[in-house]
Amino acid sequence: MTDPSSVLIPFATFHYLRYLDGPCLKSSIFFKNNELLPNTINLINNEDFFKRPQFFKVPTLKNDIFLNVISKMRLEEKISDDNTITMLQLLLNELFLICNRERDYFISESPLINTTDEIIVKAANFINNNYHKKIKLTNISTYVGYSPNYLTNKFKTIVGVNVHEYLNIIRLKHALHELKTTNDSITNIAYRTGFSNSNYFKDVFKKHYGKSPSNFRKEI
């Protein structure tokens, strides 16, 4: 299964959805704005948020959290007792808060990618979806259908950094998010975000952000 995605479609908006990656499981949730708590709307902090379509791609590491809420909503519909409406409203708010927590993060998930070049976008998407795995340049070049040398030269020319550097940037952004939002150990975060060992992670992190992961966490 691919990572879950959410699409917010305002009322009376003409639309259609295409599924390019094969079969999928779709859940449609219909709601009114007044079913969202004032605090939820305040946290979203954007008056136009519900007036235009929105797209959220759920982080790989947060799949279970997101899908758990959807499962609870399905279960509540089956229970259908006096508590169901209130429970569904609370779960709806939880779903929006999860999306909102990740929204700004994922808008900037692909730094430096300001191009419509199909090869570069495809390579960047592969990295974004597989950063937490042990991927190599050959894996990426095979996916986009070009030689490692061709991809390396093209990526460097258009993006300004090579493929490996970009992979580290994506891994660092996920690690930074983990440092901010979890109390997990730095070693676990390093491995979970795709770094081969914690010492290498610490060196790359300090070089990029000017401080060690532990010092960054202390300053939060």
- Under the banding of pLDDT at 50, 70 and 90, the label for residue 1 is very low
N-terminal to C-terminal alpha carbon distance within the chain: 35
For the chain, give the percent of residues with pLDDT over 70: 81
Q: Residue 60 in contact with residue 129, Cβ under 8 Å? A: yes
Instruction: Report residue 28 CA to chain centroid gap.
Output: 20
Q: What is the pLDDT of residues 4-22, one digit of tens each?
A: 667 777 777 776 666 655 6
pLDDT at 107 over 50: no
- What does the pLDDT read at residue 115? 73
pLDDT surpasses 90 at 27: no
The residues, ordered by sequence, that sit 6+ positions from 207 with a Cβ below 8 Å of its Cβ are none
Per-residue pLDDT band for 144 (boundaries 50, 70, 90) equals very high
Contact present, 33 and 51 (Cβ < 8 Å): no
pLDDT of residue 108: 46
What global pTM score does this model have? 0.57
What pLDDT score does 6 carry? Answer: 73
pLDDT at 56 over 70: no
pLDDT at residue 28 in the model: 87
Average pLDDT, the chain: 83
The pLDDT of residue 76 is 94
Cα separation of 169 and 208, whole Å? 8
